[in-house]
Amino acid sequence: MPTLLLYGVYLFTLALVFYSISVWANWFSKQLKLWHIYIFLVGLFLDYLATILTYISLGGLVFTLHAIVGFISIFLMTIHVSWAIYIYVKKEEKAKLNFHKISLIIWSFWVLSYLSGAISGMVKLV
């Protein structure tokens, strides 16, 4: 496995950890907190970085089902964190209380993307 791709895999996994911590902490607290947003931003940054490393390693875009789901996921995550920042800054209390409901849906979609990448990567190793 090329070194850049290996780094990408590590960063995708770290993104999963950070993103999961923020989503599940928000889910259990039922209240959007600033630290949730910070952890979410770290996960999103790691996901972008891993995507860039993968792109460089593969020499360009490769349109597979996994890639399409991945790009949709990162787009949804970007909208999601932007919305989180907006409702936190605007102090929209009702939105803060309901934020966790959509978070789990977007997280599930991202995990599907992560797992499809892991499975397709393992198939190529065999």
What local confidence, expressed as pLDDT, does residue 79 receive?
Answer: 96
Q: Which long-range contacts (CB under 8 A, 24 or more apart) does 67-73 make?
A: 69/109, 69/112, 69/113, 69/116, 70/113, 70/116, 70/117, 72/109, 72/113, 73/106, 73/109, 73/110, 73/112, 73/113
What local confidence, expressed as pLDDT, does residue 58 receive?
Answer: 84
Q: Once rounded to an integer, what is the mean pLDDT over residues 9-38?
A: 95
Least confident of 28-32, 97-101, 119-123: 119-123
What local confidence, expressed as pLDDT, does residue 121 receive?
Answer: 73
Residue 126 has pLDDT above 70, yes or no: no
Domains with residue ranges and CATH for the chain: 3-125 (1.20.120.1770)
Query: Please, which pLDDT band fits residue 100 given cuts at 50, 70 and 90?
Result: confident
Q: Once rounded to an integer, what is the mean pLDDT over residues 57-80?
A: 89
